[in-house]
Structure 1
Amino acid sequence: MTEHRDQQLRQLISLLKDGDFHSGQKLAEDLSVSRAYIWKLMQQLEELGLEFESVTRKGYRLLKPLQLIEADNLSKSMAQRGLADWECEVLLLTDSTNEQLKGDGFRHKKLLVAEYQSAGRGRRGRQWVSPLASNLYWSVGWQTQMPVQQLGGLSLIVGLAIIKALNKLGIKGVQLKWPNDIRYQGRKLGGILIELSGDMAGALQVVIGVGLNMQMGASLAQSIEQEWMNLHELAPEVSRQQVLAEMIIELNLALETFEQKGFESFLADWKAVDECFGQKVSILQQNQELKGIGAGVDATGALLLQTGKGIVPIYAGEVSLRFRH
C-alpha cells in the first residue's frame, strides 16, 4: 500500500470514527476524490477488519465508533508521568510492530504502535488476529547489558507490568499463564512476544511485543483457536489510549527493577496471578508430553511442575491447563 493511500485511509477513518452516517458525496469532497474512489477505500477498510453499513441516501456508518491512538497525546501523557525520554510512533498500517522495531528500526525506549498489523504473530510464529483500530498492538525497544541467561523471566515481568496497569484502571482478576498469556477466567485477553538480538556477550537489543484484545468483533476472530475475550467486557469505559499509557509507565518501572534486582524480586507478585499454580498442567516439548501440577516458578522464571518424580523445572514448551474443581 502506498504512503498516499495510507494517508487517505487515515483521513477517511478520522471522518468516520464518530459512528454517524456520512454521505459518499461529502466524503469524496472532503478527500478531493470521486465517489467511486471512496467506495474503493471503504472496501479496503473492510478488508482491514472495520465493520460498517452502507444505506442508500444516508451513506456509510461504522458499526461502532473508533478510538484512534494519537502519538502526540500519548507522548504528552507519558512525559507528564516521567517518561519524557521515550520516543512514541503510531502507524496506521504495518506488517508487524516487532519486525518494524528489529534491526535498523531499533531504538532504546522506543514505543511503536500500529492500528493494524498484516502479519502480526505470537509465539512459535502463530498468526495474531489484528483488525484495524480494535485492539492494542505495540512493541517496545529496550537495550540491556544483562546476560542472556538472566532474561528467562522477562516475559513474566512484562505480564506483571500489564496486570499492574490494569489494576490501576480498576480492572481486577486478570491472571498470567506461563510464559506469555494474559487471561481472565480461562479466556485469553492478550499475549507477549519477546525477541532478542545483538552481541550475546555484550549489549542485547530486546524487542517486547504485546497484543491486547480491546473490542474485537466476533466475526473477525473466527480463526482464533482458543477461548478469548475483550477488555471492554470488563471495563467498557476505558479507552485504548488510557490502557496503553498506563502499561508503558508500569513496563518502564518493571524493566528498571528487573535490571537492578533480577526476576527474584517479582516472585511474590507472580504467585498472586499465576494461573497454573495448583492446576493440572500438560507441557508439550518436542512431541513429548509431560504432566503434573503447577508449583509456581523459580528465581530464573522457569515453570515448576510437580510430577510423580518430584519438582521438574520447565524452561520452554507449550502449556495447556485443566482446571481442578
Structure 2
Amino acid sequence: MAAASSPVSDTRPPLTVLIAAPRGFCAGVDRAIMIVERALEKYGAPVYVRHEIVHNRFVVDALRAKGAVFVDELDECPDGRPVVFSAHGVPKLIPATAQERGLDYLDATCPLVSKVHRQAERQVAAGRHILFIGHKGHPEVIGTFGQVAEGSMTLIETEADAEAFTPQPGQALAFLTQTTLSVDDTAAIVATLERRFPDIIAPKGEDICYATSNRQSAAKVIAARADAVLVIGAPNSSNSLRLVEVAERLGTRARLIQTAAEIDFDWIGDIKMLGITAGASAPEILVRGVVEKLAERFIVTEEEVRTTTEDMAFKLPRGLEAV
C-alpha cells in the first residue's frame, strides 16, 4: 500500500494588494468606446477612427478586431464610410473638412473636453488672450488650440512658463487647462498666473476632469500605505503618467505598465504591500490580469481602497442610442 503524500507547503510570500477606487474607465472613455461599437453595429465594418479612440493599446486592438480602422489623418478615410473622432477632441477644421466631403462622422470628444472648447471660444470672443495650461503635442491641446484663431492662445507647461509670459500692453487674459493634468502642478501654475495677473479670468468650474482628480486622490491614499505602486495605463496617456508622479511625490516607488506581461518582479522585490491603480483609459480586465500574475509569485490579499464613488454617464450622439 502506497504511503499517503504529505501536503506541499506554499512557499509564496504574502502580499497585500491595495487596489485604488475609483480606477480605470471614466464616463468619457466609456462613451467613446461605445460610439465606435454602436457605429460598427449600425454601419457595419469598416468604421474609420481618426487617431486612437482612447490612449490604450488593449482597447484599440479590441476595436480593431471588431472592424475599426485607425488612421492618422482624415484623407486616409475613404468616401462612403463613417469616421469617428477620438475622445481627446479635434480642431474645428477636421469636422468641417469631413462635412465638405460628405462623410458621415461621429464626434466621440469627451463632453468635458468639449466644455473647454466652448470656453475657449467664449473667452476669445470676449477679446481675451488665453493662457492654456497643458502638455505640448497632446491631442487634447491640439484640439483645443484648433477651436480658435491662431495666436489667440499661448501654451503654459510649467511654473517657469507662467513666470516668463509677457502679455501685450493692455491685453486681457484668461486661462484654461487640459483635463488630464496633475491637480497639484496645475494649482501651482494657476497660483503663479493669478499672482502675476490679478485680473486674469479663471474657467467656470474646474477644467481638470472629475475622473482625473478622483484617480489622483485615490492614488495618493494607496501610495501613502504601499511600498510600491503599479499604474496600469499607456505611456502616451497623460492621466496615467500623472498617477505615477502622484505616487513618486509621496516617496513611493511607482511604475507604469500596460499589461501583466510587463510586471518586473525584481523591481517589486521583497515587499509586503503593493498599490495598484489604472488610468482612465485602462479596462478592468487589465487590472485583474495584473492581480492574477502577482498571485503566481505571492499569496495575494486584495483590499480595495475607495475614496469616492462615481456615477457620471454621458449621452451618446443622436442616432446611436437605439442601435
Question: TM-score band (shorter)?
Answer: under 0.3
Structure number having the greater helix percentage: 2
Structure number having the greater strand percentage: 1
TM-score (norm 1): 0.26
TM-score (norm 2): 0.26
Higher Rg of the two aligned structures: 2
